[in-house]
Chains A and B, each alone.
Chain A
Amino acid sequence: MRRVLILAVAVFSMGPVAAIDTGQAFDDPVLQARYEKLISEVRCLKCQNQSIKDSNVFLASDLRREIRRLIEEGKSDAEVVDFLVTRYGEFALYRPRTTGKTLILWIAPFLLVLLGGFALFRVVRHRMSMPMDDDTAITAKEGSSE
């Protein structure tokens, strides 16, 4: 039974491996690393919560092909990113660049932490100014009555 299960798992997990043509695009390991990093950071516009590395819709494979071509032409990473943003907008990037428009994305988390910290500080200070809780209040009373 266990053998059958193992075999089934092995067989059914083969499909996804073969589905996406993200194998070796470059012989040069440096170029290959750049290529893989870029395609994992570009959103597949057709299947919006996947990167073009993880998707096999034809738009994703077209974009992979374009990125491969740009790298072959000797374009820098920034130029490849520019190519995509000109055509599809900032949304195509999983790691948006720091520009005026996307600044809010980068600072919002810090602002929210500050805000939360401030709220916590207020609550704690308020609690501390309240009369002590029951147990200690009683012991204090008992103490004073003796």
Chain B
Amino acid sequence: MSRYILPLIAVVALVLFLVIGLQRGDPRALPSPYIGKPAPQFELPTLADPAVMVASKDLEGDFALVNVWATWCVGCRSEHPFLLQLARDNSIPIYGINWRDTRPEALRWIAQLGDPYIASGFDETGRVGIDWGVYGAPETFLLNADGIVVHKHLGPLGREAWDRDFVPLINAGRAAQ
């Protein structure tokens, strides 16, 4: 009987690894190395006016969302109504990073679909995107009042993920202040 114990343990371990692997969700989703660390500093001309800058210090003092978007990004279009709703409800200040886009197209998008952003930085070359570890839009970072990244959402943001991942963090953070 004892000769079966070792293979049994091996099989159980293998099955366990497979189950964990299957339940991990999207295997292409990478954890951000910035979670729990200060968000990368940035300063970009705004989309609306190249002479006006938007920078890290504008985000300090309250929780803030940093949403990486582009007009070529299909997921950005699908999450846009939800961002507008967050802005209407005054849930949280939302800043945009318009990533690897062209100004006329991005301005047309905002004019047609509405503007949920306090300001969008215009990151034409993708430099700031790289600093933030962005690898596919849309990506949404949640920053606390001290500018620490507390959560990163990959892909289109919706009500479900918002209520599950963002709201508890924001409530806990605001209660602690």
Contact = CB atoms under 8 A, between A and B. Distances in A.
Nearest to A88: B133
Contacts of B100: 58, 62
Contact of A62 (B40, B125, B136): B125
A62 to B, nearest CB: 4
Nearest to B32: A89
A64 to B, nearest CB: 11
Most B CB contacts (10 A, CB to CB) among A85, A87, A89 go to: A87
Nearest to B28: A48
A45 B129 CA distance: 13
B109 interface: no
Contacts of A34: none
A85 B28 CA distance: 17
A75 interface: no
Contact of B126 (A48, A62, A89, A91): A62
A140 interface: no
Interface in B28-72: 28, 30-33, 40
Contacts of A63: 130
Interface residues of B, number: 18
Contacts of B40: 87
Contacts of B127: 62, 66
Interface in A80-99: 85-89, 91
A81 B10 CA distance: 37
Contacts of A86: 33
B131 interface: yes
Nearest to A91: B30
B30 A87 contact: no
Nearest to A69: B127
A88 B132 CA distance: 8
A111 interface: no
A79 to B, nearest CB: 15
A37 interface: no
B126 A46 contact: no
Contacts of B131: 87
Nearest to A86: B33
B136 A87 contact: no
Given A46-B135, A85-B33, 10 more contacts: A46-B136, A58-B100, A59-B135, A59-B136, A62-B100, A62-B127, A87-B33, A87-B131, A87-B133, A88-B133
23 contacts: A45-B136, A46-B135, A48-B28, A58-B126, A59-B135, A62-B126, A62-B127, A62-B130, A63-B130, A66-B127, A66-B130, A87-B40, A87-B131, A87-B132, A87-B133, A88-B33, A88-B133, A88-B135, A89-B30, A89-B31, A89-B32, A89-B133, A91-B30
Interface of A: 45-46, 48, 58-59, 62-63, 66, 85-89, 91, 119
